[in-house]
Amino acid sequence: MAQPEYLRIAAELRQRIASGQLAPGDQLPTLPALCASYGVSETTIRNALRLLATEGLIETRARAGTRVRPRPPIHRMAADRYRSTPGAKSTPYTRDQGIGWSEYRLDKRFERVKADGELAALFECEVGERLLARHFVFHDNDLATQMSTSYVRWSDVAGTPVADPINEPWPGGTRAQLGSLGIHIAAITESFTVGMPTESEAATLRIGGGVPVLRYTRRHIADTGRIVEVAHPIVRRGDTTIVDFRIDLDD
Tell me what pLDDT residue 61 has.
79
Q: Which residues contact 223 (CB under 8 A, 6 or more apart)?
A: 184, 185, 186
3-state secondary structure of 18: helix
pLDDT tens profile 146-155: 999 999 999 9
CB under 8 A, 24+ apart: contacts of 179-182:
181/156, 181/157
14 by DSSP, 3-state: which?
helix
Count other C-beta atoms under 10 Å from residue 149's C-beta: 17
Indicate the length of the chain as a whole number: 251
Q: Per-residue pLDDT for 70 more than 90?
A: no
Residue 250, pLDDT > 80, answer no
Taking all residues of the chain, what is their mean pLDDT, rounded to a whole number? 91
CA distance 116 to 234: 18
Q: Is the pTM of this model over 0.85?
A: no
* DSSP letter, residue 212: -
Average pLDDT rounded to a whole number, residues 220-230: 97
Q: How confident is the model at residue 87 (pLDDT cuts 50, 70, 90)?
A: low
Looking at residue 58, its pLDDT comes to: 85
Residue 145: its pLDDT value, please? 94
Residue 230: other Cβ atoms inside 10 A: 25
Whether 234 contacts 204, CB under 8 Å: no
pLDDT score of 78: 85
At 101-111, the pLDDT tens digits run: 999 999 999 99
